[in-house]
Amino acid sequence: MAALIWCPFPDEASAESAATTLLDERLVACANMIAGVRSLFTWQGERGQGDEVGVLFKTDARVLDQAVARLEMLHPYDAPAIMGWRCDAAGVATAQWLGELAETTQ
């Protein structure tokens, strides 16, 4: 089953570094880096804003928890916003491609 992880980063370099590690460790099959994400937020009771790079990681549900935990270790923020979910539907070719991750990490 396909799964996705969404995570914003402070800059392109840190996003690429984390994505490269997750790809090398076969915890994700793809990382779509989306520059120009404008974030408005409340953190520790204070309003804030910033420019970030969002990354949508594609993975397999069988390694989702492992990928999220590893991403949390790699991320430069003290408390990164990392959200992962299992997909209800995916194309056959996509599901097969992502399923190869679980086969090589088990």
Domains of the chain by residue range:
2-100
Position 106 scores a pLDDT of 55
Residue 68 has pLDDT above 60, yes or no: yes
Residue 102 has pLDDT above 90, yes or no: no
Q: How far apart are CA 8 and CA 74, in angstroms?
A: 13
Task: Determine how many CB atoms are found less than 10 A away from the CB of residue 49.
Answer: 8
Residue 105 has pLDDT above 70, yes or no: no
Q: Does the domain formed by 2-100 have CATH 3.30.70.120?
A: yes
Q: What is the mean pLDDT of residues 50-71?
A: 97
pLDDT classification of 104: cutoffs 50, 70, 90:
confident
Q: What is the mean pLDDT of residues 2-17?
A: 98
Position 18 scores a pLDDT of 98
